Structure 1
Amino acid sequence: MGEFDLIARYFTRPVRRNPLGVGDDCALLQPAPGMQLAVSTDLLVEGRHFLSTVDPRALGHKALAVNLSDLAACGAQPLAFTLSLALPQVDEAWLAGFAEGLFALADAHDCELVGGDTTRGPLAINITVFGEVPAGQALLRSGARAGDDVWVSGTLGDARLALEAFRGTLSLPQAVFAAARERLERPVPRVALGLALRGIASAAIDVSDGLLGDLGHVLRRSGVGATLEAGRAGELLAALADGLDLDAERCEDLVFAGGDDYELAFTASPRHRSAVEAAAAQAGTRVTRIGSITPETGLRLVDAQGQPVSRRFAGFDHFA
């Protein structure tokens, strides 16, 4: 099977938002009047971002989910995406599964594939996603203000828990491992929550490289600091609800520095607490208030008594 046969069989579908369809040198997208385009791109490389044994359907899902998570963090509605795919060989069963997982999530968010590229090489997946947001209403990293609450959506640390099980650093009950693996391989982009938080949240970011590392980007862009309650870690790790016995330090490592969660961390004024909870209910997503923004720069963890936690946590860094 040649390159263009591959594209035609697995990745060519009718599209509405690009009048040219798939096959021209460029896609043409026109945002609605009064809207801005939100654009994000992510590259996934085998052995770095995913295991060679991952189910291709799950990989197709995750490849798009991590990009949709970026749109969610900006409060943007998904529109379309492009796909660039490097393949070591043509494996039709793998391609069918990958496309199935990819398009199932794309259809759920009415997000169309409008172009891309294929080549031979080590397995790598690059997606660029396009969304739209009313002009001036995008959620940014630079809007946090002293006194704001710090919130996170969903649960944290479960994806890293699955990764540690794959690495053999801990053993998990089968049911816990299955649930954690689902979080690692099929993250749920919080698009509905991001849309509902427009006009409520002051800043937002998606949690991909660990909560503390990602929240640090918000603090630097906003010129503020934060104090977080370390004791909330146990509430945020879903696996603990299944009876998993972990010591406090391991739990904190998973929650604060685990990565691959693709939840939203965001800030909002305390006067918007009821609005945040209403937005979360509307989106069908749990949210937890874990701390507050401070005028002093830097990020501090405190225990239940308000005393500083001296441990250091490092977020994921590809080149560290």
Structure 2
Amino acid sequence: MGEFELIDRYFRRDGAPSPQVPLGIGDDCALLAPAPGMQLAVSSDLLVEGRHFLSTADPRRLGHKALAVNLSDLAACGARPMAFTLALALPSADEAWLAGFAQGMFALADEHGCELAGGDTTRGPLAICITVFGEVPAGATIRRNGAREGDDLWASGTLGDARLSLEAFRGTLSLPAPLFEQTRLRMEMPQPRVALGQALRGIATAAIDVSDGLLGDVGHVLRASGVGATIEAREAIALLAARVNARPGDLPDDAAQLDCVLAGGDDYELAFTAPPSAREAVLEAALNSGTAVTRIGRIEAAPGIRVLDADGRAITRRFASFDHFA
């Protein structure tokens, strides 16, 4: 099977051009048409085998995740997905793998009305690069630099599930089989909070998606905004235990849970800030988007991040979020 047959068989879809993508696969460039008064939001992510996913990853789940991590960036900006491009390096044209990958990717794309508009394929070590395009009303983008002293700090969904699964894969901890499968699904098929991101436009003062760990990603918001924060560890840990419906003894000790929740990556939840006066609006946005949110801290003038235990005492140990070159 040649390159162009591969594209036609697995990635070209039937149907007339859409208003948002008047020209897609088959030409030198795709054409996108954002609605009047809208701006394009663009993000790229590269996934490399052995670095971002295991060689044993189910191709359907991998197709889902490859697009999900990009849609999560759009969610953090409050953008509506429009289209994406796919650059794919493959060791070989494995038809079963391609069919599963395309199925998982297109299932998520259809869920969010996001069309494959083009890309490239080549032979090489397995790597997946997706660039996603969204639209957001001009001036309404949720950025990282808007957090202000006195704002609440919120997190969507739950945190730490993916890191729990990764540590189980690594053999550093043991999880009951049902709990392992549950957390593995969270690691391999994250759910981008696209609807919540759009619902938070005009409410959230700043936002970021949690891809490399809560503390590290919130730190980007704080530096961009020139502020600091205090995080309540009790609330953060509750996000993990509640999500996985864990029984006593199922989860590792508190220290390991803190590592998973505060420094674990691959959650693809949203961390965002909003003034206390907007608490009802935040909860309504969460309800309307079908996404749970939890208030986990507050923004303060003093720079840096302070983590408090259940008794309000400062936790002094260091937590290292993921960094490709650290």
TM-score by length of 1: 0.98
Residues 50-199 of structure 1: pairs in structure 2 closer than 5 A:
50-199=53-202
* 1:19 and 2:22 aligned: yes
Measured after TM superposition, the shift of residue 5 of structure 1 is 0.5
RMSD: 1.0
Distance in 2 between the 1:303 and 1:107 partners?
A: 42
Per-residue CA distance 1:72-131 (angstroms, 9 max, x = gap):
000000000000000000100000000000000000000000000000000000000000
Distance in 2 between the 1:240 and 1:6 partners?
A: 39
Indicate the SS of the match to 2:141. coil
* 1:242 and 2:246 aligned: yes
Indicate the SS of the match to 2:68. helix
Aligned to 2:289: 283
Indicate the SS of the match to 1:50. coil
Q: Percent identity?
A: 72
Q: Is the 8 A contact 1:233 1:251 kept in 2?
A: no
Q: Is the 8 A contact 2:182 2:244 kept in 1?
A: no
Measured after TM superposition, the shift of residue 232 of structure 1 is 1.9
Indicate the SS of the match to 1:288. strand
* 1:39 and 2:45 aligned: no
Aligned to 2:325: 319
Indicate the SS of the match to 1:242. coil
State the 4+ residue runs in structure 1 displaced beyond 4 angstroms. Answer: none
Per-residue CA distance 1:269-318 (angstroms, 9 max, x = gap):
00000110111011111101011000111111112332211011011000
Aligned to 2:7: 7
TM-score by length of 2: 0.96
Distance in 2 between the 1:231 and 1:18 partners?
A: 46
Distance in 2 between the 1:237 and 1:108 partners?
A: 26
Measured after TM superposition, the shift of residue 169 of structure 1 is 0.9
Distance in 2 between the 1:240 and 1:29 partners?
A: 40
Q: For this pair of structures, how many residues does the alignment match?
A: 320
Amino acid at match of 1:218: V
Distance in 2 between the 1:307 and 1:172 partners?
A: 30
Q: Is the 8 A contact 1:196 1:279 kept in 2?
A: yes
Indicate the SS of the match to 1:187. coil
* 1:231 and 2:234 aligned: yes
Amino acid at match of 2:6: L
Measured after TM superposition, the shift of residue 249 of structure 1 is 0.6
5+ unaligned residues in a row in structure 1: which ranges?
Answer: none
Q: Is the 8 A contact 2:179 2:246 kept in 1?
A: yes
Residues 194-273 of structure 1: pairs in structure 2 closer than 5 A:
194-238=197-241, 241-243=245-247, 244-273=250-279
Distance in 1 between the 2:185 and 2:298 partners?
A: 31
5+ unaligned residues in a row in structure 2: which ranges?
Answer: none
Indicate the SS of the match to 1:309. coil
Indicate the SS of the match to 2:205. strand
Distance in 2 between the 1:249 and 1:164 partners?
A: 14
Measured after TM superposition, the shift of residue 18 of structure 1 is 2.5
